Amino acid sequence: MKDELFAELLASVREGGAILRGETAPSRTFSVDGPDIKHIREGYKLSQSQFASLIGISVSTLRNWEQGRRTPDGPARVLLLVAAKHPDVVWDVVCPVGQQELKAG
């Protein structure tokens, strides 16, 4: 490795360490807004317990998300984004034939 490239890499690693220790502010940060879970649930016209059951989570988890104490991440976040954008797909996948009473409700 060329000395110049190594020096640049070393400076970058040191800068990263200083940021992690709180000694230096990062030059930029990124913020991604999460889905509005309560708005999504209300779009389905379901109670908290019904919606939690629909997407396979506990009611307490849903409450924590809706009240901002926790935020969904990973697969749960993706599922909520799909639920917001394509509700018919969610109904089709999670409601067995003959059990469409939640959807009708």
Could you report the per-residue pLDDT of 51-68, keeping only the tens digit for each? 999 999 999 999 999 998
Residue 34: name the closest of 86, 8, 58, 69 by CA.
Answer: 69
Tokens read off for 104: 């009708």
Query: pLDDT per residue over 30-49, tens digit each?
Result: 776 778 999 999 999 999 99
Find the Cα–Cα–Cα–Cα dihedral 19, 25, 29, 33, rounded to 10°.
100
Contact between 48 and 41 (Cβ < 8 Å): yes
User: pLDDT value at position 34?
Assistant: 77
DSSP state of 105: -
Q: Which architecture, in CATH terms, is 37-104?
A: Orthogonal Bundle (1.10)
Within a 10 A sphere around the Cβ of 41, how many other Cβ atoms? Answer: 23
